[in-house]
Homo-oligomer: A and B are copies of this chain.
Amino acid sequence: MGGRALVQWEQNRDNAPDSLAVDLYPGGPAPAGGLDEVTFYQVPYAPSTQGVDERLDMIARMPSLEVVQLLSAGYEHVLPLVPDHVTLCNGRGLHDASTAEHALALILAAQRDLPRWAVAQKEHRWDPAPLRSLADRRVMIVGYGSIGRAVESRLRPFETEVVRVASRARPDVHGIDELHALLPDADVVVLATPLTEATRGLLGAPELALLRDDALVVNVGRGPVLETRALLAENGRVRAALDVTDPEPLPGDHPLWSASGVFITPHVAGGAAAFYPRARAFMDAQLARWAAGEELANVVRPGAARRGR
């Protein structure tokens, strides 16, 4: 609960309780004070994966480490690097506003043909055409966690019908076992699930075939939840707006780039401006909890000592 914390932002250093030694580490070479006494390590968050490996490798050089704090929601890739006695926390919830906002941006962009207008603008063409709407559409949210709920609250005023699907059925939420029965009635399917054995390839050829002509799949979860090959085989019959892809990053010669009815943004949903004030506020509170010896928030794997208790 004491020792030395490494954090990314000055706000968190400045607001930390006096009992805690806090140094800045925004990435790059190891900080001046060395790594020996670091007990709490907030891995510097970066919107791209550049430099991430180095930041994670440092974990192995921190003999006093007790807590690794990620600000990403995903943590599977970090698990093997975190010693068994160290508690791992993630950034669950911090990206919800940003990600849900991007999901809406993608849905509206697809329904309103914004990529077409962007290209027409480049060619100086004023060429109006009838548009789809989001109103009156049935939107299925697959993955009804905190991001799914944030997407739903933003969808509601658009005069849509929302259908909720989660791994297990509960009141007002369908179970994933009902997916095949629900797909034929969906106009828009929003994928907001983490990547697990259960969600990999969740939307493949059989599932896409169940969708209506001109249905829209939006993926703000993880790329492999939607099978790229199956989407390509639909040949534009089903549309897609994707912030995540499989593979990722998408190579320059990949056919998905120019697939009919597919709009791509390069995994930028969760790290937009809205993330930062939420992440800083979370870190202030998390450091206060740590200094006070309270339970940490967002623990995804307690250290072995705590697990044993």
Tell me the A residues contacting B by CB distance below 8 Å: 47-48, 97-98, 101-102, 104-105, 108-109, 111-115, 117-122, 124-136, 153-154, 156-159, 248-250, 252-254, 257-258, 263-268, 271-275, 277
Contacts and interface: CB of A to CB of B under 8 A. Distances in A.
Q: How many copies does the complex hold?
A: 2
A127 B266 CA distance: 6
Contacts of A267: 128
Contacts of A102: 112
A207 to B, nearest CB: 24
A272 B130 contact: yes
12 contacts: A48-B128, A97-B135, A101-B134, A109-B114, A113-B268, A126-B249, A126-B252, A126-B266, A133-B272, A133-B273, A133-B275, A154-B157
A98 B120 CA distance: 21
A77 to B, nearest CB: 18
Contacts of A265: 112, 114, 117
Nearest to A135: B274
A261 to B, nearest CB: 12
A133 B274 CA distance: 5
Contact of A128 (B47, B130, B159): B47
Contacts of A271: 130-131
B104 A274 contact: no
Contacts of A111: 101, 105, 272
Given A97-B159, A136-B274, 11 more contacts: A101-B112, A101-B133, A108-B108, A114-B118, A118-B118, A124-B252, A124-B258, A130-B268, A132-B273, A134-B274, A154-B158
